[in-house]
Amino acid sequence: MMGELQELGRAVKQAQYRQHRALDTALSTVGTTLAQWDALRAIGRAPGASARELAAATFQSEQAFGALVGRLTAQGVVERRPGHGRRIEHHLTPAGEGILAAADKIADEVLATCFAALPAADRATLLDLLRRLNAEEAGRTGRVSRPD
């Protein structure tokens, strides 16, 4: 049983690794990376969110997210604005919205290729199983898992 679980864990990691490499390569054509696109998506989904919220949404430490958003701000695609109290809010600039839209199209194409071997019903089943697994883990640890 343990060998089978290890094989399952490795297969999930291998699929993720292949997907991430394909996304990173394809996203470079619009001048962004997987990590940057993920940050832009998180900000686009939650305009005005804090760095702490966005770090959690992108599976990064606050320090790593801060460094990443600093680069995105320097590129002119993210804007930091004062919020309530010491809170700093994050927003996409028009340039950031443009990159996000282009990157979303590329990601859709890459992910369609990554999952092409699975019929739609199998993809739906896989998504359901992973959602259940992530919900179970979140329930056990008290940590909220990101829905995407």
φ/ψ of 91, rounded to 5, equals: -140, 150
The whole-number pLDDT of residue 82 equals 92
Q: Which residues contact 108 (CB under 8 A, 6 or more apart)?
A: none
Tens digit of each residue's pLDDT, the chain (148 residues): 569 999 999 999 999 999 999 999 999 999 999 999 999 999 999 999 999 999 999 999 999 999 999 999 999 999 999 988 888 999 999 999 999 999 999 999 999 999 999 999 999 999 999 999 988 876 776 655 554 4
pTM of the shown model: 0.85
The whole-number pLDDT of residue 142 equals 62
The whole-number pLDDT of residue 42 equals 97
**Among 74, 78, 94, residue whose Cα is nearest residue 39:** 78
Q: Which residues contact 88 (CB under 8 A, 6 or more apart)?
A: 50, 51, 80, 81, 82
The whole-number pLDDT of residue 10 equals 95
| Contact between 33 and 25 (Cβ < 8 Å) | no
The whole-number pLDDT of residue 144 equals 53
The whole-number pLDDT of residue 141 equals 65
